[in-house]
Structure 1
Amino acid sequence: MVDKRKFSTINKSKKDKPAGLSEKYFNLMKILSMLEKDQYPSRNDIANECEVSLRTAQRYMQILTSILPIQYNREKRGYEFENKLTKKTLFLENKEIAVLAAVFSTLKKREPLLYELFANLIKKLNLQTKDETTLEKTCICLTPDEVSINYESKVFKLVMEAITNQKTLRIIYKSIETGNITEREIDPYELYFLDGEWFVYSYCHLRNGYRWFALDGIRELEMTEKKFIKPKDFSMDKKLEKSFYIFQADPVTIKVRFLPEIAHKIRRKKKLHKIEHREELPDGSILVTFEVAGLKEIKRWLYTFIPHFEVIEPDELREMIRRELEKELTKF
């Protein structure tokens, strides 16, 4: 019986080889392709595919077996990878492993739920390096935020499952700001991590609009059998384009002068917000103009620079900060 695979390849011209590749390299890639497709190539198969002698085919296999776990399968009468995951192995540089290790370490200390998922992903990818560098040996360290996450793991897992399967959730929710408790159904779109807390962006059927829900505000939840369809043109980046962090409101233009004492901190950051304009002033201060959604989030961020900033506009923000600071000063 004619082996069609051999017949289709035996007459290929060597001129079909991509320009710039040596004959040996090109043939080794051919053999790896056969192995990855589980074709169990024999020495004869390799000789026919590469249009070389049996002796040369044997040399090719000696090269490959010296760097990869390849074995001869007597039953199939051909070569195969010892481990089926080998063909999915990713060989990384030390700097790439270092970055993964930093993330791995940080998640382990601060977010055990994501750490578990990340660890499983790493196992499936079967990462390897050319030396002894591993995820336990890294030259990068990320300082973990010690903020305690006060929600049960089942909440996180169920929300993530609902997002993946596009299933509506029924929740009992306590508002972080007002303390009001409501029952509602939400279509969860995406999870977002901010200031040590997790939020889920959802379509709320109770309010007939999009809302953010803090996971630690969810008192009870269950997944319904209702399916929702996420709009094809939905983009979280586009939604948050003008938000300072995540919350949305009407756009407003804000001008802030950062005093010379902290101007160096501002210069170190290429951008403080996606939509901004900077101007260096003669006295060494920096005037930054922002276009953001609402005042709430940028006001909270500006407080981290007290007393080294001045709000130029709008007057509403100036007045808001003045009143709050005056109220706080009465406590001292």
Structure 2
Amino acid sequence: MIPNDQLERLRRLLSHRRVISANDLQYELGISRATLTRYIRHLRDTFGVPVVIDRELGGYRLESSGHDFGPQFELPGLWFTAEEIHALLTMQHLLANLDTSGLLGPHIQPLLKRLGHILGSADDSAAELARRIRIQTVGARSFKLEHFQAVASATLRRHRIVIEYHARGSNRTTRREISPQRLIHYRDNWYVDAWCHLREELRSFAVDAIHRAEVLSTTARDVDDDRLDCFLGSGYGIFSGSDVQWAVLRFSPERSRWVAAEKWHPDQQGRLLDDGGYELRVPYSQAPELLMDILRHGQHCEVIAPPGLREAVQQEHLSAARLNGA
């Protein structure tokens, strides 16, 4: 394991000088030529630091490639924020849980190795980070890797794809031709936002509900980002639409301490109440997902508006009480 302080000293020496000889680097760092070679290789291969040998000037320098790295160039992994740690570990978790026996295997393993090196360059080893920081998935549904590969390939290459899709709500399987627009990882599951040529509208499809996928040579229909965001990002949750309503929810003082710090939707509006409670306003298009999140708060959440959502919550509570013998 290469000490972090040595890597940082080497980075600074390279950043502050136009060129520096191997002898000077060995002297400054107090290391052998073989160790210097190992350090240089680690900077270059693990972190992508553009270190090159300039034989005309007789030393090592940073290859700017049109960019002025200067002394501000920093090594990833040595100054992780909490968000960066979470992002890297999430990437590692997602990759580690893919089946690497398929076509993606040769590409996933090098990525995992590189992530391990980067995480291991922080103040603790990669093994210690893995031991102390965990990414737990709740409600993640399994999917077939070949279906994910087909959807991802069609999305990136801008091709249409034919899928056999099982809609869990209606318990029906239909054959659809779709033009995929983007892949979304949401609440530990993968979805594809696409133009559905069967329904002639934008839809969001769960990748795990795809039973068969065939990429076509036909060019996909493109939908601009503003329209995608307006239709699929306007309401609450992954399943949205153009018919947006606003839910007004009132939480008890006890539960408000958690809800006030949560982000339910980018356009949400919230305010603390005089009694210590919390009022949350969120836009939604389809009720099922919002309904589930309201019900998990039980008696601590009252639906103020709209009336249809309030009635739906009441019916769910009454049905649950009857089911449990109340």
- What displacement does 1:209 show? 1.2
The secondary structure found in structure 2 opposite 1:307 is helix
Q: Where does the alignment leave 5 or more consecutive residues of structure 1 unmatched? A: 1-23, 32-58
Q: Separation in 1 of the partners of 2:119 and 2:209?
A: 41
Contact 2:252-2:276 at 8 Å conserved across structures: yes
2:237 to 240, 245, 249: 245
1:138 aligns with 2:122: no
State the partner residue of 1:28: 17
Question: Aligned in 2, Cα 1:95/1:319: closer, same or farther, shift over 3 Å?
Answer: same
Instruction: Look up the SS of the partner of 2:314 in the other structure.
Output: helix
For residue 229 of structure 1, report the CA deviation from its aligned partner: 4.8
| Contact 2:240 2:286 (C-alpha < 8 Å) held by counterparts | yes
2:306 to 293, 301, 314: 314
What is the match of residue 68 of structure 1?
40
1:120 aligns with 2:107: no
Q: Determine the C-alpha separation between the residues in 2 that align with 1:132 and 1:26.
A: 22
Note the 1:155-194 alignment, pairs <5 A: 155-194=147-186
Report the counterpart of residue 254 of structure 2 in structure 1: 261
Give me the whole-angstrom Cα distance separating, in 2, the residues matched to 1:309 and 1:200: 32
Tell me the distance in 2 between the aligned counterparts of 1:124 and 1:261.
Answer: 44
Letter in 2 for 1:268: A
Equivalent-residue separation in structure 1 for 2:52 and 2:293 (angstroms): 60
Residue 293 of structure 1, CA deviation = 2.7
Residue 202 in structure 1 maps to residue 163 in structure 2: no
AA of the residue aligned to 1:307: Q
Match of 2:322 in 1: 330
Distance 2:96 2:120 in 1: 24
SS in structure 1 opposite 2:143? coil
SS in 2 for 1:138: helix
1:68-92 Cα offsets, whole Å, 9 max, x none, are 358989xx999798xx9xxxx9832
Q: Structure 2: how far apart are the matches of 1:72 and 1:329?
A: 74
Match of 1:297 in 2: 289
Matched AA of 1:68 = I
> How far apart, CA to CA, are the structure 2 residues paired with 1:119 and 1:172?
30
1:94 aligns with 2:78: yes
- Residue aligned with 1:282, SS: coil
The 10-residue stretch of structure 1 (211-220 or 139-148) with the greater mean CA deviation from structure 2: 139-148
Q: Distance in 2 between matches of 1:291 and 1:146?
A: 25
Aligned equivalents of 2:107, 2:74: Cα separation in 1: 19
Equivalent in the alignment of 2:46: none
Change (3 A) 1:163 1:90: farther
CA distance in 1, matches of 2:163, 2:187: 23
Stretches of structure 2 lacking an aligned partner (at least 5 in a row): 1-12, 27-35, 42-50, 64-72
Deviations 1:145-189 (A, max 9, x none): 154533211111111111111111111222111122221211111
- Matched residues in 2 for 1:290 and 1:265: separation? 16
Contact 1:108 1:115 in 2 (8 A): no
SS of equivalent residue, structure 2 residue 141:
coil
Q: What is the identity, as a one-letter code, of the residue corresponding to 2:129?
A: T
Q: Which residue of 2 aligns with 1:214?
A: 206
The structure 1 segments of at least 4 consecutive aligned residues displaced by more than 6 Å after TM superposition are 24-27, 70-73, 76-81, 113-116, 128-132
Percent identity reads 20
How many residue pairs get aligned? The number is 273
Gap change, CA 1:60 and 1:206, over 3 Å in 2: same
Structure 1 length normalisation: TM-score?
0.67
With normalisation by structure 2, the TM-score equals 0.69
> How far apart are the structure 2 equivalents of 1:115 and 1:286?
48
> How far apart in 2 are the matches of 1:253 and 1:141?
37
Within 1, Cα distance between the matches of 2:286 and 2:189?
21
Tell me, yes or no, if the aligned pair for 1:28 and 1:60 is still in contact at 8 Å: no
Given residue 40 of structure 2, which amino acid in structure 1 is its aligned partner? Answer: L
Deviation at 1:261, TM superposition (A): 2.2
| SS of 2:320 mapped into structure 1 | helix
The alpha carbon displacement at 1:259 in A equals 1.0
Contact 1:173 / 1:219 at 8 angstroms: preserved in 2? Answer: yes
